């Protein structure tokens, strides 16, 4: 260890059931080593003696049940709290664990038809206002399930298109989780996904099933979001039909904060989007994070059919503002195309291979010296079929004159001519979709709404006179004949 590293490292001794919270500013990074005892980050255990690196404005907490000593390299905003809601979260986990065990017993035929016990696994919808810690709670609950030693593989579902979950913003997704989700950067809140890089680069990468909504704001096209949630649900159920272990492990669903409060027209959409989740994922437990009014509303609407539980918000949750969220989205795009870039804390080796050799971990994996090499290609306007869902600038129904109906419905796919003056394709992020049905007689007008995402591209230049455009894609594959959908996301390097 260099003298600079020794100079900037500091030991923290944490008592039982305490957590060390940290917040990183832009351009800083942090290294944490567990030197003694047991500790975890959002439910994922730290390995003693390994140094974990955090970067890109990461905000998180090291929690310990029994007490521990951690060594911190490069101080940031940091403090220790003795008051956490972890016992409440752990009690939830214990209840969900009992449900999984009963569901497995039933699946194995170890229960009698006369048993009156509920044998459904936990399918949990997490609701709460902005910055209430929903994503962190989802992570903790999923991570505890994977650590239970029962080979559970819970499905983690993200229906917050503003966040992107384990893939890119603009999507909603589901992924089966078998190993604890690591924390290192807000660009990968749920660990990394296998879509942007070869899977061998990260042994714990998730393989998500995703649908493209194309906007960060759920109010932009709630009908489309409703349909995509239902599509995702159908797909999840199809997949789980042949996977007993996955089915009995249950699902945890993270939602956007707009599901917690609305007004006027959006109030109606909010309720129908919650209902879409309840139906699509066959929810049997609703968790409401620290929001009395929403809790009462959920009790009234769903309380007779399922458990509605109000749970405390952690005092450690950081208030994330709009500019921060925009920066995280940009980094998610950057990482998708080019891989991770970070500067280790002072005194630590700059090369990833040197860090790996010294036993450092990023997101639970030894760092690797790689940058992804996206391919830039020039294609004709007609080579890629580009769609936009619904009218480009759509006035809300409430703003239309009385009696007027929309000419273009929210769900109507419109073919986009990239050369049209209003197309605005320069810098547009497009989702590439799975191929339409091979049998033409099985195709239908709105099929593009029901196809899942296979990747993303960005249009980096548009040459209108020659009807050609330059497209940045993560790999070399041909784009000709593919189907893509544009939303409102833009990205420029």
Ligand X SMILES: Nc1ncnc2c1ncn2[C@@H]1O[C@H](COP(=O)(O)OP(=O)(O)OP(=O)(O)O)[C@@H](O)[C@H]1O
From 46, 61, 459, 473, residue interacting with ligand X (rule: CB under 6 A): 61
Q: CB of residue 261 vs ligand X: minimum separation in angstroms?
A: 12
At 61 the three-state DSSP class reads strand
From 165, 169, 250, 316, residue interacting with ligand X (rule: CB under 6 A): 316
Residue with tokens 């945890």: 252
From 51, 135, 202, 295, residue interacting with ligand X (rule: CB under 6 A): 135
Closer by beta carbon to ligand X, 59 or else 106: 59
From 317, 352, 432, 471, residue interacting with ligand X (rule: CB under 6 A): 317
**Rounded to whole angstroms, how far apart are CA atoms 486 and 55?**
31
Stretch that binds ligand X, among 165-173, 313-321, 362-370, 376-384 (CB under 6 A): 313-321
What residues does 389 pair with on adjacent strands? 413
Report the DSSP pairing between strands 51-55 and 360-362.
Answer: parallel
Q: CB of residue 82 vs ligand X: minimum separation in angstroms?
A: 12
From 45, 130, 217, 391, residue interacting with ligand X (rule: CB under 6 A): 130
Stretch that binds ligand X, among 53-61, 117-125, 197-205, 405-413 (CB under 6 A): 53-61
Closer by beta carbon to ligand X, 16 or else 400: 16
Residue 134 in the binding site for ligand X (CB under 6 A): yes
**Rounded to whole angstroms, how far apart are CA atoms 160 and 328?**
14
**Rounded to whole angstroms, how far apart are CA atoms 330 and 492?**
9
- CA-based nearest residue to 218, from 189, 186, 259: 259
Q: How far is CA 51 from CA 155, 188, 349, 366, in A?
A: 29, 19, 12, 10
Residue with tokens 């493209």: 212
Q: Find the DSSP H helices in 339-457.
A: 352-357
Q: CB of residue 179 vs ligand X: minimum separation in angstroms?
A: 19
What residues does 59 pair with on adjacent strands? 23
Site for ligand X in 148-187 (CB under 6 A): 163, 186
Residue 64 in the binding site for ligand X (CB under 6 A): no
Stretch that binds ligand X, among 123-131, 196-204, 222-230, 403-411 (CB under 6 A): 123-131
Residue 222 in the binding site for ligand X (CB under 6 A): no
Q: CB of residue 59 vs ligand X: minimum separation in angstroms?
A: 4
Q: How far is CA 285 from CA 135, 183, 229, 282, 304, in A?
A: 16, 26, 18, 9, 11
The binding site for ATP consists of 19, 59, 131-136
From 320, 368, 375, 461, residue interacting with ligand X (rule: CB under 6 A): 320
From 318, 372, 394, 454, residue interacting with ligand X (rule: CB under 6 A): 318
What is the longest distance spanned by two Cα atoms in the chain? 75
Radius of gyration of the chain from Cα atoms? Answer: 23
Stretch that binds ligand X, among 32-40, 133-141, 205-213, 358-366 (CB under 6 A): 133-141
The binding site consists of 19, 59, 131-136
**452-457, long-range: CB within 8 Å, 24+ apart, which pairs?**
452/209, 452/210, 452/211, 452/231, 452/235, 453/167, 453/171, 453/210, 453/211, 453/212, 455/195, 455/431, 456/168, 456/336, 456/429, 456/430, 456/431, 456/432, 457/429, 457/430, 457/432, 457/484
Residue 371 in the binding site for ligand X (CB under 6 A): no
Residue 423 in the binding site for ligand X (CB under 6 A): no
From 121, 122, 133, 455, residue interacting with ligand X (rule: CB under 6 A): 133
Q: CB of residue 40 vs ligand X: minimum separation in angstroms?
A: 12
**Rounded to whole angstroms, how far apart are CA atoms 292 and 201?**
44
Q: How many residues bind ligand X (CB under 6 A)?
A: 21
Binding site for ligand X (CB under 6 A): 21, 59-61, 128, 130-136, 163, 186, 256-257, 314, 316-318, 320
């Amino acid at each position: 260890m260099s003298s600079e590293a020794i100079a900037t490292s500091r030991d923290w001794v944490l008592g039982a059931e305490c957590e060390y919270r940290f917040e990183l500013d832009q351009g800083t990074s942090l290294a944490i080593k567990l030197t003694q005892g047991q500790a975890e980050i959002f439910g994922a255990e730290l390995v003693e003696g390994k140094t974990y690196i955090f970067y890109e404005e990461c905000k998180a907490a090291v929690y310990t049940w029994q007490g521990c000593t951690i060594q911190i390299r490069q101080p940031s905003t940091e403090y220790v709290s003795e008051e956490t809601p972890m016992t409440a979260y752990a009690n939830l986990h214990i209840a969900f664990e009992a449900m999984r065990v009963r569901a497995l017993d039933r699946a194995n035929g170890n229960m009698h038809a006369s048993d009156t016990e509920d044998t459904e696994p936990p399918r949990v919808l997490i609701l709460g206002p902005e910055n209430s810690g929903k994503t962190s709670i989802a992570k903790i609950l999923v991570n505890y399930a994977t650590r239970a030693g029962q080979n559970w593989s819970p499905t983690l579902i993200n229906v917050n298109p503003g966040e992107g979950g384990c893939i890119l913003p603009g999507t909603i997704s589901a992924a089966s989780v078998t190993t604890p989700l690591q924390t290192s950067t807000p660009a990968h809140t749920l660990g990394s996904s296998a879509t942007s890089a070869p899977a061998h680069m990260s042994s714990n990468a998730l393989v998500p099933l995703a649908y493209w909504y194309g906007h960060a704001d759920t109010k932009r096209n709630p009908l489309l979001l409703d349909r995509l949630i239902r599509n995702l649900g159908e797909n999840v159920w199809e997949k789980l039909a042949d996977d007993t272990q996955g089915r009995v492990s249950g699902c945890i669903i993270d939602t956007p904060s707009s599901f917690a409060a609305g007004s006027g027209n959006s109030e109606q959409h909010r309720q129908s989007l919650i209902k879409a989740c309840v139906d699509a994922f066959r929810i049997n437990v609703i968790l409401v994070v620290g929001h009395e009014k929403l809790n009462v509303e959920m009790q009234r609407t769903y309380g007779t059919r399922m458990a509605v539980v109000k749970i405390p918000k952690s005092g450690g949750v950081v208030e994330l503002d709009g500019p921060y969220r925009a920066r995280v989205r940009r980094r998610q795009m950057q990482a998708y195309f080019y891989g991770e870039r970070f500067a280790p804390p002072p005194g630590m080796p700059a090369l990833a291979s040197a860090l790996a050799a010294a036993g450092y971990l990023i997101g639970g994996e030894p760092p690797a010296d790689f940058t992804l090499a996206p391919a830039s290609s020039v294609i004709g306007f007609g080579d890629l079929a580009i769609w936009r869902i619904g009218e480009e600038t759509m006035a809300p129904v409430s703003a239309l004159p009385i009696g007027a109906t929309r000419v273009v419905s929210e769900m109507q796919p419109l073919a986009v001519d990239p050369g049209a003056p209003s197309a605005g394709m320069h810098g547009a992020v497009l989702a590439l979709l799975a191929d339409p049905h091979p049998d033409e007689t099985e195709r239908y007008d709105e099929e593009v709404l029901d196809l899942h995402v296979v990747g993303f591209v960005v249009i980096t230049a548009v040459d209108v006179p020659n009807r050609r455009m330059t497209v940045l894609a993560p790999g070399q594959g041909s784009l000709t004949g593919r189907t893509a959908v544009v939303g409102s996301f833009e990205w420029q390097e």
